Amino acid sequence: MLFRSLNLSYKPTQAVMAYALVSYGAKAGGFNSPAVPQSTTGVIEPISTLAVKPETAIDYEGGVKATLLDHRLILNGDLYWTEVSDYQANTTVPGPTGTVLSLITNVGKMRSRGFELDATAVPIDGLNLTASAGYNDATYLSFDLAPAVQGAVAATQNLSGRPVVEAPKWTLSVGE
């Protein structure tokens, strides 16, 4: 990748700015544990099973920022679309003695897309009111060999097309 980010902005007025951004990022790979894991039958797995590949992401974002009413109202909004390759996720696998091991593994591709809105109002000096809302459609694009749920007959399950674990669809916040 030849660039890390490209950002364009335009101010149609002194109080309003629109922007578009494309950025690329990566998270380092690594190894899970200093000990080579054993399979459930006690066979020592190859050391390559410990490796975690680097995660890479490309993000597209566009939005508007506005400061209005003599700085008493600030409004921001953006839309985003992020695609991640070799997404790193926590998984669990059975250990050789019936224990459960927690590992980081590459699950394939993941996409996150949505919007964010936030507002800050200062109706009187000393009183700042804030509100924000976000929508995030985070989906595994490919996660063919996800660990099966406890008690399942199969050792793996296919989570491709399913929501990313622990990625909330909606976030809302209000404050003073």
Model confidence at 29, pLDDT cuts 50, 70, 90, reads confident
Most confident of the following: 36-40, 54-58, 134-138: 134-138
What is the rounded average pLDDT of the residues 109-127? 96
Average of per-residue pLDDT values in the chain: 86
DSSP of 61-95: EEEEEEEETTTTEEEEEEEEEEEEES-EEEEEEE-
Average pLDDT estimate for 49-56: 85
pLDDT at 173: 97
Q: How many helices (H) and strands (E) does the chain have?
A: 0, 13
The answer to pTM > 0.75 is: yes
pLDDT value at 44 more than 70 = no
